[in-house]
Amino acid sequence: EKRFFQNVYDIDVRRVDFSFMELSNVQKARREVANRLFGKIVKTGSDKLLYRFPYIKYAASYLKKISSWINNNGFDIVMFSSGFEDSIQLAIIKEQISPHVKLIAWSHASFKDYFREEGGLYSNGIRRLWSFYYKRFDAIVVLSDADIQFCKQYLDIDAVRIYNSNSFVPVNKSPL
């Protein structure tokens, strides 16, 4: 069965480019190692080290590849659909991207999924990291009004909510 894109915003989809760039195995391994180091970096209490984390996580050659690809394709708007954590890639390369390109971060999940009370230092570190980098975006897109409030209260950034055509209210709770 063929599925069709639901065009709820009446966008001229002939001018939309959906692209995908796969991480190399080396970059995937680097990202995993960096993610394991994150908790240790947060425990140091050093914001300077914390703000360098994305540069530890993503190789300079990989970031240059992304910025060159964006610039060479003449995009007006770039939105990573890989969630907030990986959207930091766009924030750290903003200075290498043509100034006319608008950068948008898009959340796939509720902030409650990212910032759990039991997260302790990890959650506080993520908040500080996101607050620092997400101010570089031209727009932050979230799924709910509660997430808009979270962005304002905990990250000191403005966000917008978009229509989520896949939203639903479950009839029953899953036994899983």
Residue 64: its pLDDT value, please? Answer: 93
> What's the whole-number mean pLDDT along residues 71-78?
89
Cβ neighbours, 10 Å, residue 84: 21
Q: Write out the two tokens for 152.
A: 């304002």
| Dist. CA 17–CA 78, nearest whole Å | 10
Q: Is the Cβ–Cβ distance between 75 and 97 less than 8 Å?
A: no
Residue 53: its pLDDT value, please? Answer: 87
Residue 71: its pLDDT value, please? Answer: 93
Residue 18: its pLDDT value, please? Answer: 73
| Dist. CA 134–CA 107, nearest whole Å | 12
pLDDT interval class at 68 (50, 70, 90): very high
> What's the whole-number mean pLDDT along residues 25-44?
87
| Dist. CA 105–CA 108, nearest whole Å | 10
Q: Is the pLDDT of residue 84 over 90?
A: no
**Is pTM, for the whole model, over 0.85?**
no
Q: Is the pLDDT of residue 8 over 60?
A: no
| Dist. CA 114–CA 85, nearest whole Å | 9
Q: Is the pLDDT of residue 106 over 60?
A: yes
In single-letter form, the type of residue at position 75 comes to F
Cβ neighbours, 10 Å, residue 8: 10
| Dist. CA 143–CA 35, nearest whole Å | 25
Return the sign of the alpha-carbon dihedral for residues 2, 142, 28, 91: positive
How long is the chain? Answer: 176
More confident residue, 31 or 84: 31
- Residue 160 β-bridge partners: 141
> What's the whole-number mean pLDDT along residues 124-137?
85
Return left, alpha or beta for 45; rule: phi > 0 is left, psi -120 to 50 is alpha, else beta. left
pLDDT interval class at 96 (50, 70, 90): very high
Beta-carbon-side half-sphere exposure of residue 37 (alpha carbons within 13 Å): 15
End-to-end CA separation in angstroms for the chain: 28
Could you report the per-residue pLDDT of 46-56, keeping only the tens digit for each?
888 888 888 88
